């Protein structure tokens, strides 16, 4: 449901923008990929095509789960189709980690994701990494569920 809405929104945006700027219209390599009209549309398409811009990790771990690898596989496919898009992989920990260890673990998570994307054929020049440690809490609270939702790496489309 959410996917459809996002996709519809991005296509609407795409058609409006292309109507205004016909000269900038580019031919898409494969049918479902919308016209490139800016980073917001790309972000929406990335989510629509791959399901999510995040992967999650176990406590104190930077090991990629089978689920994370499946997500990253889809994201890698999308990124290979969009070699002009530059992404930043941002690593996060849950707030129960200590400040400096959190920075290191966030960096390790981001590096694991980047390395897997490279393994899946994404050119390394398309990728950069950043650790936020525990500085950008996504979900408040100290319940196990809240903590788990904070142990994440986010693929941020930069341009």
Partner 1 sequence: MIARFSPLLALGLALLGAPAPAQETAAVIAIPPLTTPEEKSTGAGSPAAVAWQASQLIASDLRTTAELVPVGPNQKDYYSFPEVTAPTFSRWRTQGAKFVLTGFVRSRPDGRLTVGCYVYDVTSGRELGRTGFVVAPDEWRRAAHKCSGLAYTAATGAPGIFDTRIAYVAESGPANARVKRIAVMDGDGNNQSFVTAGETTVLTPRLAPKAGTVAFVSFAGGQPHVQVADLGSGQQRALVPDAAMSFAPRFSPDGQRILFSMQTGANTDVYVASASGGGVERLTTSPGVDTDASFSPDGKQIVFESDRSGTQQLYVMNADGTGQRRMSFGGGWYAAPVWSPDGTSIAFARRMPGAGSRVGVIKADGTGEKLLTNGPFDEGPSWAASSRELIFQRAGPDGRPALYRITLAGGEARRVATPQDGSDPDWSGALD
For binding to partner 1 (CB under 8 A), which residues are involved? 60, 62, 95-96, 98-101, 103-105, 107-108, 111-112, 115, 130-131, 133, 135-138, 140, 142
For 92, counting Cβ atoms within 10 Å of its Cβ (0-12 exposed, 13-18 middle, 19+ buried), the class is buried
DSSP 20-44: H-GGG----SSTTSPP---HHHHHH
Q: Shortest Cβ distance from residue 65 to partner 1 (Å)? A: 17
Q: Shortest Cβ distance from residue 113 to partner 1 (Å)? A: 10
Nearer to partner 1, 34 or 91 (CB): 91
Q: Shortest Cβ distance from residue 43 to partner 1 (Å)? A: 19
What does the block give as tokens for 30? 């494969």
Q: Shortest Cβ distance from residue 5 to partner 1 (Å)? A: 24
Q: What are the angstrom distances between the C-alpha of 55 and each of 2, 51, 155?
A: 18, 11, 9
Nearer to partner 1, 15 or 96 (CB): 96
- Residue written as token pair 């919308």: 34
CA–CA dist 108, 92 (Å, integer) = 10
Q: Shortest Cβ distance from residue 87 to partner 1 (Å)? A: 14
Nearer to partner 1, 45 or 112 (CB): 112
Nearer to partner 1, 26 or 101 (CB): 101
CA–CA dist 61, 152 (Å, integer) = 10
Nearer to partner 1, 71 or 131 (CB): 131
């Amino acid at each position: 449901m959410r996917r459809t809405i996002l996709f519809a929104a991005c296509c609407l945006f795409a058609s409006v923008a292309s109507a205004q700027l016909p000269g900038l219209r580019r031919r898409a390599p494969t049918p479902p990929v919308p016209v490139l009209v800016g980073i917001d549309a790309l972000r929406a398409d990335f989510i629509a095509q791959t399901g999510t811009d995040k992967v999650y990790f176990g406590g104190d771990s930077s090991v990629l789960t089978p689920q994370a690898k499946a997500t990253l596989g889809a994201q890698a496919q999308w990124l290979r189709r969009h070699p002009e898009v530059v992404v930043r992989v941002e690593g996060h920990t849950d707030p129960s980690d200590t400040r400096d260890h959190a920075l290191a673990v966030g960096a390790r998570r981001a590096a694991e994701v980047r390395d897997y994307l490279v393994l899946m054929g994404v050119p390394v020049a398309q990728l950069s990494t950043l650790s936020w440690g525990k500085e950008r809490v996504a979900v408040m609270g100290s319940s196990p569920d809240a903590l788990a939702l904070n142990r994440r790496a986010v693929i941020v489309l930069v341009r």
